[in-house]
C-alpha cells in the first residue's frame, strides 16, 4: 500500500502519516461520504467549504455530462460560448447592487490574484499609477499564490516562500477571545481594529494604496467573525481615501451565511468580490471575480480592437465549468438552499453552543451554517489535540476540518435538523473522549 501511494505528493497533508494509514473516500451522496472500508461519513464540512448543495446532485452531474458531449472546450481568449455569458449574468444578479461584471478563474487563489491585479491596473488606468500598495490582514487566508500569500496573514503559508510581494501591509486580526468568547453571531468588541487602517494609510500615504482585502468572515484561520460595525468602518475608511475594498467571498459566498454573499448579510458592498468553491458546488474547478461597473468601465476606453486587460487563463469560463456553475445556481434556487441555511441557523447556533462545558472547549463561535470550536492546546504540542479530534470523528463517522486547535464546521446547506443532531452527538462524544 505504501508503495502504491508514493507518487502523489498530497497538498496541505502530513504525507508520511497519511500514507501509513490512508483515509480514502470511494463515493458520496447527499450529506454523506462512503469510505473504502464501507462506512458512511457525515459531511460536516461540505468537502472543503465547497459542496454547498451536497453531493451527487443530479442537475449538476447531468449538466456536466451533457456539456462534455456538446461543446467540450472553447478558447477563452477572443472566442465565446453562450453558457459563460449566461453564468456571468446570473452571478451579477445574485451579487449586491453595484456589482455588475464577472471575470472567470479556476480557483479561489486565482480569483484573489486576479482581483489584486485588477485593483492595481484600475488605478493606473485611472491616472493613479502610484497606487500599488495592498493591505491584507493578520490571520487572513487568500489562497496560496504569491499575491494571496503576500496579503494573507498565516505565518506557515508565508515563511517558507521568500520575500513575497513588495509594498504589502496588514491590519490586525479581529480575534479577541478574552472579551468575545462564546459569542453567538457577531461579537460586540473589536470595531476599533478597523481604525488601524487609518494608521497604516497615514504611514504610507493614501495615494500609494490600491486596495484592502479581507475575508468578511475569516474561515480557514479558524472562523473569526467580524465585530459589530467593523466591516462598515473599513468601507467608510477605504471610500474616504479612494482605496478599493475587496471582499474575499470564496467561503462566504453562495449561501454559507444564509444570504447570497456575506456582502448582503452584513449590508456592506465592496468594490470587488472574489469567489470560487460553491460557484460550481466544488464539482469542477472554477472561480470568479465580481466587480463594479466603475472599475470595469475605466478599462473600456481606447481603440476597440485592443485588449483591455492583459490577464486571463486557458480555462477561464470553460464550458463544462460554466454548465456546472449554472446547474449549481439552479439547484440552490430550486431547493431554496440559502433559505434553508438561514432558517436553520438558530437551531445550528443552539447545537453549537450545547458543546460549551465539554473538556478543553475554550470558545465556540457561529454564524449562518458555520461554526468553530476552539480547544485548549496541549502543553508543548499545539494542533495535536484538534488533529486527534479529526481522526476520532472520522472513525466515528463524521468529517470535520481543523486548523490549529480549532475545529471548523460548515455542512452542506441541504442539512436537516436530524442530521444536525447526528453531527453534534458524534462531535460531543469525540470531545468527551479527548485526552
Point out which residues bind ligand PXG (CB under 6 A). Answer: 48-49, 107-109, 112, 141-143, 215, 219-220, 248, 250-251, 276, 401, 403, 408
Burial readout 120-136 (b: 16 or more C-beta within 10 A, e: otherwise): bbbbebeeeeebbbbbb
- In the complex with ligand PXG, which residue's Cβ is closer, 125 or 276? 276
- In the complex with ligand PXG, which residue's Cβ is closer, 88 or 223? 223
Residue 58 CB, shortest distance to ligand PXG, in Å, is 25
Q: How many DSSP H helices and E strands does the chain contain?
A: 16, 15
**DSSP output for 378-393:** BTTBTTHHHHHHHHHH
Measured at the alpha carbon of residue 227, what is the angle toward residues 99 and 153, in degrees to the nearest 5? 75
- In the complex with ligand PXG, which residue's Cβ is closer, 51 or 125? 51
Contacts of residue 7, defined as CB under 8 A and 6 or more positions apart, other chains included, come to none
CB atoms within 10 A of CB 246: 31
φ, ψ of residue 208 to 5 degrees: the values are -105, -5
**Alpha carbons within 13 A on the beta-carbon side of 75:** 3
Residue 146 CB, shortest distance to ligand PXG, in Å, is 13
- In the complex with ligand PXG, which residue's Cβ is closer, 108 or 325? 108
Residue 142 CB, shortest distance to ligand PXG, in Å, is 5
- In the complex with ligand PXG, which residue's Cβ is closer, 67 or 157? 157
d(CA 433, CA 392): 9
d(CA 156, CA 150): 12
- In the complex with ligand PXG, which residue's Cβ is closer, 104 or 125? 104
Residue 49 CB, shortest distance to ligand PXG, in Å, is 6
Residue 35 CB, shortest distance to ligand PXG, in Å, is 19
- In the complex with ligand PXG, which residue's Cβ is closer, 151 or 323? 151
Residue 255 CB, shortest distance to ligand PXG, in Å, is 15
Q: By beta-carbon distance, which residue lies closest to ligand PXG?
A: 108
3-state secondary structure of 361: strand
In terms of Cα–Cα distance, which of 166, 253, 254 is closest to 216? 253
Residue 222 CB, shortest distance to ligand PXG, in Å, is 9
Amino acid at each position: 500500500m505504501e508503495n502504491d501511494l508514493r507518487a502523489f505528493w498530497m497538498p496541505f497533508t502530513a504525507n508520511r502519516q497519511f500514507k501509513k494509514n490512508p483515509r480514502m473516500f470511494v463515493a458520496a451522496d447527499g450529506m454523506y461520504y462512503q469510505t473504502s472500508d464501507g462506512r458512511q461519513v457525515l459531511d460536516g464540512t461540505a468537502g472543503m467549504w465547497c459542496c454547498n448543495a451536497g453531493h451527487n446532485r443530479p442537475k449538476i452531474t447531468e449538466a456536466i455530462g451533457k456539456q462534455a458531449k456538446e461543446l467540450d472546450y472553447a478558447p477563452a481568449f477572443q472566442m465565446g460560448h453562450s453558457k459563460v455569458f449566461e453564468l456571468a449574468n446570473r452571478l451579477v444578479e445574485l451579487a449586491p447592487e453595484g456589482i455588475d461584471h464577472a471575470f472567470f478563474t479556476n480557483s479561489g487563489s486565482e480569483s484573489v490574484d486576479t482581483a489584486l491585479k485588477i485593483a492595481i491596473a484600475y488605478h493606473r488606468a485611472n491616472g493613479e499609477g502610484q497606487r500599488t500598495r495592498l493591505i491584507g490582514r493578520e490571520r487572513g487566508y487568500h489562497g496560496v499564490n504569491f499575491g494571496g500569500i503576500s496579503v494573507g496573514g498565516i505565518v506557515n503559508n508565508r515563511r517558507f516562500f521568500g520575500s513575497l510581494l513588495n509594498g504589502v501591509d496588514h491590519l490586525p486580526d479581529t480575534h479577541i477571545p478574552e472579551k468575545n468568547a462564546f459569542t453567538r453571531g457577531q461579537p460586540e468588541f473589536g470595531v476599533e481594529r478597523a481604525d488601524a487602517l487609518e494608521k497604516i494609510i497615514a504611514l504610507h500615504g493614501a495615494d500609494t494604496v490600491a486596495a484592502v482585502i479581507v475575508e468578511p468572515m475569516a474561515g480557514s484561520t479558524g472562523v473569526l467573525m467580524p465585530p459589530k460595525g467593523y466591516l462598515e468602518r473599513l468601507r467608510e475608511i477605504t471610500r474616504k481615501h479612494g482605496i478599493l475594498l475587496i471582499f474575499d467571498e470564496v467561503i462566504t459566498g453562495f449561501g454559507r451565511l444564509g444570504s447570497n454573499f456575506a456582502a448582503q448579510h452584513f449590508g456592506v458592498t465592496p468594490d470587488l468580490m472574489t469567489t470560487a468553491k460553491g460557484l460550481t458546488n466544488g464539482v469542477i474547478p472554477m472561480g470568479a471575480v465580481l466587480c463594479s461597473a466603475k472599475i470595469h468601465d475605466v478599462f473600456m476606453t481606447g481603440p476597440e480592437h485592443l485588449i483591455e486587460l492583459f490577464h486571463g487563463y486557458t480555462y477561464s469560463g470553460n464550458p463544462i465549468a460554466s454548465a456546472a456553475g449554472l446547474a449549481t445556481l439552479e439547484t440552490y434556487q430550486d431547493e431554496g438552499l440559502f433559505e434553508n441555511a438561514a432558517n436553520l441557523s438558530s437551531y445550528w447556533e443552539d447545537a453549537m453552543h450545547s458543546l460549551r462545558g465539554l473538556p478543553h472547549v475554550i470558545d465556540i463561535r457561529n454564524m449562518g451554517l458555520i461554526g468553530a470550536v476552539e480547544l485548549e492546546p496541549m502543553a508543548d504540542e499545539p494542533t495535536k489535540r484538534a488533529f486527534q479530534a479529526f481522526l476520532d470523528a472520522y472513525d466515528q463517522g463524521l468529517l470535520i476540518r481543523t486548523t490549529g486547535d480549532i475545529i471548523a464546521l460548515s455542512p452542506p446547506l441541504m442539512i436537516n435538523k436530524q442530521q444536525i443532531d447526528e453531527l453534534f452527538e458524534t462531535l460531543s462524544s469525540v470531545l468527551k473522549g479527548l485526552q
